[in-house]
């Protein structure tokens, strides 16, 4: 069963994700002429997600490679 703190963290992550999704949707798809003052240039609507994707994949793959290296050292240590 989830504790109160887990539910609070989940609710805050869900709220944050919803706000980011709505903001990005307005920025990339629905932006009209009178809303330009509230948003960055439209070219960043592609650049920012691409940079975040590359950064996220780099972190994930680095983590996986570190785990694989550590597990290989454990196997070699057991065999010796």
Secondary structure of 11-55 as H, E, C letters = HHHHHHHHHHHHHHHHHHHHCCHHHHHHCCCCCHHHHHHHHHHHH
pLDDT attached to residue 16: 95
Q: What is the pLDDT along the chain (80 residues), one digit of tens a residue?
A: 778 899 999 999 999 999 999 988 888 887 766 777 778 888 888 899 999 999 999 999 999 999 999 998 888 888 87
For the entire predicted model, the pTM comes to 0.65
């Amino acid at each position: 069963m989830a504790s109160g703190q887990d539910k609070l963290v989940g609710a805050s992550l869900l709220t944050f994700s919803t706000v980011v999704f709505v903001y990005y949707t307005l920025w990339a798809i629905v932006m009209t002429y009178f809303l330009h003052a509230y948003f960055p240039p439209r070219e960043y609507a592609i650049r920012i997600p691409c940079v975040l994707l590359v950064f996220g994949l780099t972190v994930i793959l680095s983590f996986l490679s570190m785990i694989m290296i550590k597990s290989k050292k454990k196997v070699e240590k057991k065999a010796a």
